[in-house]
Amino acid sequence: MTAPPAEEVRVNYGSIEKSLAELWRGEHAQGDDAVTRAALWNVIAHTWKARDHTYASEVLSRVAATVPQRTIVVRAEPGVPDDIASWISANCHMVGGEKQICSEEVAIVAGGRFVDRVPPLVNALLIPDMPVAVWWLGHLPTTEHEYVENLFEAAERLIVDSAQFRSVDDLALVLRIAELTRTTPADLNWVRLEEWRVATAALFDPPDMRARLRRIRAVRIVSTDEGEVFGRTAQSLLYAAWLAAQSGYDPASVTHHFEIEKHPADSGSLLRVIIAFDDGGEAAVAFDADRHVLLGSWPAAESHLDSVTRIAPRKIDDLLIRQLERPDADGVFVRVLPIAMRLAS
Q: Could you list the residue range(s) of the whole structural domain that residue 337 is in?
A: 192-344
* Per-residue pLDDT tens over the stretch 292-322: 899 998 766 444 557 899 988 788 999 999 9
CA distance 240 to 270: 12
Contact at 8 Å (CB) between 323 and 159? yes
* 138 and 38 within one domain: yes
Question: What's the mean pLDDT in 80-85?
Answer: 90
CA nearest to 122, candidates 71, 162, 79: 71
pLDDT at 266 over 80: no
pLDDT at 33 over 60: no
Is 181 part of any domain? Answer: no
Angle at 254 (CA atoms; ends 252, 259), nearest 5 degrees: 110
Is 23 part of any domain? Answer: yes
Q: Which residues pair with 64 in a beta bridge?
A: none
* 197 and 334 within one domain: yes
Q: pLDDT band at 262, cuts 50/70/90?
A: confident
CA distance 108 to 87: 7
CA 65 to chain centre: 18
Alpha helices in the chain (DSSP H): 16-31, 50-63, 118-125, 145-151, 168-180, 188-192, 194-203, 207-210, 231-247, 316-324, 331-344
CA distance 103 to 63: 10
Is 95 part of any domain? Answer: yes
* Per-residue pLDDT tens over the stretch 87-101: 888 777 766 666 677
Is 180 part of any domain? Answer: no
* 196 and 332 within one domain: yes
* 225 and 127 within one domain: no
Question: Among 100, 126, 155, where does a domain finish?
Answer: 155
* Per-residue pLDDT tens over the stretch 120-152: 999 988 999 999 999 999 777 766 667 888 888
Phi, psi of 155 (to 5 degrees): -85, 130
More confident residue, 235 or 102: 235
Is 1 part of any domain? Answer: no
CA distance 13 to 20: 11
* 203 and 320 within one domain: yes
| DSSP conformational letter for 271 | E
* 335 and 228 within one domain: yes
Spatial CB neighbours of 325, under 8 Å, sequence gap ≥ 6: 66, 67
* 235 and 128 within one domain: no
| DSSP conformational letter for 326 | -
Question: What's the mean pLDDT in 37-51?
Answer: 88
Task: Compute the chain's Rg from CA coordinates.
Answer: 23
Phi, psi of 144 (to 5 degrees): -80, 60
Q: What is the pTM of this model?
A: 0.85
* Per-residue pLDDT tens over the stretch 155-167: 999 999 998 888 8
* 278 and 210 within one domain: yes
CATH number at residue 199: 3.30.360
pLDDT for 89 equals: 81
pLDDT at 267 over 60: no
More confident residue, 281 or 266: 281
CA nearest to 133, candidates 111, 154, 157: 157
Burial class (CB in 10 A: 0-12, 13-18, 19+), 158: buried
Is 161 part of any domain? Answer: no
* 338 and 200 within one domain: yes
pLDDT for 8 equals: 65
* 235 and 326 within one domain: yes
pLDDT for 219 equals: 95
In residues, how long is the chain? 345
* 223 and 146 within one domain: no
pLDDT for 149 equals: 80
Is 326 part of any domain? Answer: yes
pLDDT for 96 equals: 63
Q: In the chain, how many domains are there?
A: 2
pLDDT for 289 equals: 83
Is 173 part of any domain? Answer: no
Q: pLDDT band at 13, cuts 50/70/90?
A: low
* 267 and 125 within one domain: no
pLDDT for 35 equals: 61
pLDDT for 24 equals: 64
CA distance 19 to 11: 7
CA distance 124 to 289: 47
